[in-house]
Structure 1
Amino acid sequence: MKEVSSKDIRRAAMDLLARREHSRRELLQKLSRRFPNEAERVGVEVCQLTAEGLQNDSRLAEAFTRARTSRGQGPSKIRMELKGKGVTDADILLAFEEAEVDWFALASEVVLKKFGDLADQEVDIRLKARVSRFLQQRGFSYDHIASLY
């Protein structure tokens, strides 16, 4: 079996980062799976990449937030996914501030695209329930949903 060098670990990490941004936790997990007996060197290489600015959780949070808002997802879902990737609350909050998203307007756009203009329809309790469930699944809060009616 071939000896694994730090250069091999770094190259694998750079390959992952070239495809898309990765959080520190994601990078550690993927590299640890690829190099199971080299946990310490994997940690050192990831720290080195972070120190060099090649891996950055706040940059990931900003890019992820932009991508998800363009897909019509709400703040709760985005926050949950970023937390799952190991991004800190401070980085998430900073990404939300940088994105400057009007969540109420986004919720309205998502509903307009999915259900059409609610002003033109007779909004009964069943339609309200469908719209509410849809927006909750997308990660919007009750305040965002209630603002539509």
Structure 2
Amino acid sequence: MNDPKATQPENFRDLYNKAIELLARREHSQAELREKLKRKFECTDADIAQVLARLVELGYQCDQRFAVAFTRERLYRGLGERRIIQELKFKGINASIGEAILAEQAQGDFAAEILIERTWRKKFKAIPQDQKERAKQYRFLQYRGFGGDDISRLFERLKCMPDDDW
């Protein structure tokens, strides 16, 4: 179909085994598994749906569990809420699920103020001295998924900090 390397599965077991092999490496969303199985095998959507249903039934695949693991990993990398939700949507996860998970995770080390400051400090060593540098830092933080209000509050906090806190 899509990929010239795709093969015809012998039976349900081939699809199932490949899905298990993928899940053994890391969590996958249903949309990711569906896409990978389509690329690997020439089969119908109904065949893939049957495999996915069985994996969910057995507890081997869970979109909620995938979203939690994915969100945590992205937070550790210093990404903001907007970027994480965008990536979850790309992986086939509903935005409302992503927002709920982020709300649960947004405590302690992952509070928005702490996360944005940690991300900023990792990249930049000094507060922006001119408009050009401020715009550069602002764009970087936006790209990482932080909102304009959060970025503005960070710059205000940084201005108020004594120099010996650097």
Q: Do the structures match in fold with TM over 0.5?
A: yes
Q: Are 1:104 and 2:113 an aligned pair?
A: yes
C-alpha distance in 1, partners of 2:147/2:100?
19
C-alpha distance in 1, partners of 2:111/2:118?
11
Letter matched to residue 42 of structure 1: I
Aligned to 2:51: 45
C-alpha distance in 1, partners of 2:50/2:67?
23
C-alpha distance in 2, partners of 1:137/1:3?
42
C-alpha distance in 2, partners of 1:62/1:2?
34
Of the three residues 11, 15, 24, the one matched with 2:21 is 15
Whether the 8 Å CA contact 1:24–1:55 is kept in 2: the answer is yes
How far off is 1:111 after superposition? 1.1
CA deviations 1:76-125 (Å, max 9, x no partner) are 1110000001001232122212322312211111111211142xxx6321
C-alpha distance in 2, partners of 1:102/1:123?
27
Letter matched to residue 126 of structure 1: K
How far off is 1:39 after superposition? 3.0
Question: Where does structure 1 differ by over 4 angstroms across 4 or more consecutive aligned residues?
Answer: none
Aligned to 1:114: 123
Which protein, 1 or 2, shows the higher relative CO under an 8 Å CA cutoff with sep ≥ 6?
1
C-alpha distance in 2, partners of 1:2/1:52?
25
Q: Pairwise mapping of residues 58-97 of structure 1 onto structure 2 (< 5 A)?
A: 58-97=64-103
Letter matched to residue 80 of structure 2: G
User: Alignment RMSD, CA only?
Assistant: 1.7
C-alpha distance in 2, partners of 1:85/1:38?
21
How far off is 1:2 after superposition? 7.4
Whether the 8 Å CA contact 1:12–1:31 is kept in 2: the answer is yes
Q: Secondary structure at the match of 1:4?
A: coil
- Unaligned stretches of 5+ in structure 1? none
Q: Are 1:130 and 2:136 an aligned pair?
A: yes
Whether the 8 Å CA contact 1:57–1:91 is kept in 2: the answer is no
C-alpha distance in 2, partners of 1:57/1:137?
26
What's the TM-score once normalised by structure 1's chain length? 0.90
How far off is 1:31 after superposition? 0.8
Letter matched to residue 135 of structure 1: L
Aligned to 1:147: 153
